[in-house]
Amino acid sequence: MKTFNYHLAKDIKEAKKLASPSSTFLAGGMTTIPSMKLGLGTYKDIIDIKEIKKLSGIKVIGKILKIGATTKHVEVANSKEVRKSIPSLAVLAEGIGDPQVRNRGTIGGSIANNDPSADYPSACIALNASINTSNNRKIDAENFFRGLFETALKKGEIIESIEFEIPLKSNYQKLPNPASRYAVVGVYVAKYKSGTNVGVTGAKPCVYNDKDLANELSKNFSPSAIDGVKILFSGMNSDIHASANYRANMVKVLAKKAVEAC
Ligand SMILES: Cc1cc2nc3c(=O)[nH]c(=O)nc-3n(C[C@H](O)[C@H](O)[C@H](O)COP(=O)(O)OP(=O)(O)OC[C@H]3O[C@@H](n4cnc5c(N)ncnc54)[C@H](O)[C@@H]3O)c2cc1C
- Tell me the mean pLDDT in the region 215-224: 98
Looking from the CA of residue 34, the nearest atom of ligand 1 is: 53
Task: Please name which of 87, 143, 92 lies closest in space to residue 120, comparing C-alpha atoms.
Answer: 92
pLDDT tens digit string along 162-204? Answer: 999 999 999 999 999 999 999 999 999 999 999 999 999 999 9
Distance 219 CA to ligand 1 centre (A): 36
59 Cα: distance to centroid of ligand 1 (angstroms): 22
What is the whole-number distance in angstroms between the Cα of residue 216 and the centre of ligand 1? 33
Question: Looking at ligand 1, which atom is closest to the CA of residue 177?
Answer: 8
Asked whether residue 211 carries a pLDDT value surpassing 80, the answer given is: yes
DSSP H helical ranges for 87-167: 87-94, 99-104, 107-113, 120-126, 141-144
48-106 pLDDT, tens per residue? Answer: 999 999 999 999 999 999 999 999 999 999 999 999 999 999 999 999 999 999 999 99
- 64/132 Cα distance (integer angstroms): 13
Long-range pairs for 82-90: beta carbons < 8 A, 24 or more residues apart: 82/58, 84/60, 85/60, 85/166, 86/127, 86/164, 86/166, 86/167, 86/170, 87/170, 88/123, 88/170, 88/171, 88/172, 88/188, 88/190, 89/65, 89/123, 89/127, 89/164, 89/170, 89/172
Is residue 1 predicted with pLDDT exceeding 80?
no
Interval 101-127: pLDDT, tens:
999 999 999 999 999 999 999 999 999
**Contact present, 68 and 59 (Cβ < 8 Å):** no
Q: What is the pLDDT of residue 162?
A: 98
